[in-house]
Amino acid sequence: MKVLARSYVWWPKLDSEIENLSFTTARACAQVGISKNSVISHTRPIFGKNFLIVVDAFSKWLELRLLKNTTSELVILCLRQIFSINGLPDIIVSDK
C-alpha cells in the first residue's frame, strides 16, 4: 500500500501515517466484525475481451485486469500482482 501511495503522492512521515491508518482501520473492522475479504468475479467476454474483476468487500475497491487468456497461470499472476499492492485477503470468494 505504501508503494502505491508513493507512486501518487509523498510527504514527510507518509509511511508511518499509512501504518497508523492501516492499524486503525483493521482495529475498527475487527470491532464491527468485518473481515478482510476479496470477491473475484469471472464474467463473460466484453467486446471479445476477458477481464478479471476483484472487489474488496469492505472498501468496495475495484481491481480490473484485462486477460490475454483465461488460463489459471495468468489468473494467478494477476492475483499475485493485486495482492502485492493491496495485501493478502483473509478470505477469497469467487462466483465460479
User: What digits encode the pLDDT tens for the residues 3-40?
Assistant: 767 777 778 887 888 777 766 666 665 665 555 555 55
Cell for 49? 475481451
Same-domain status, 87 and 42: yes
Tally the domains of the chain: 2
Looking at the fold, whether 88 and 58 belong to one and the same domain comes out as yes
Same domain as 52, residue 25: no
pTM here? 0.54
Q: Are residues 91 and 65 in the same domain?
A: yes
CATH of the domain at 80: 3.30.420.10
Sign of the C-alpha dihedral, residues 69, 72, 75, 77?
negative
Tens of pLDDT, residue by residue over 33-77, are: 555 555 555 556 777 888 888 888 878 788 889 999 888 899 899
The domain of 9 spans 1-33
| DSSP sequence for 26-89 | HHHHHHHT---EEEEEE---BTTBEEEEEEETTT--EEEEEES---HHHHHHHHHHHHHHH---
24 and 47 share a domain? no
DSSP β-bridge partners for residue 62: 55
Spatial strand order of the sheet with 50-56 comes to 62-67, 50-56, 37-42, 91-94
Nine cell digits for residue 25: 482501520
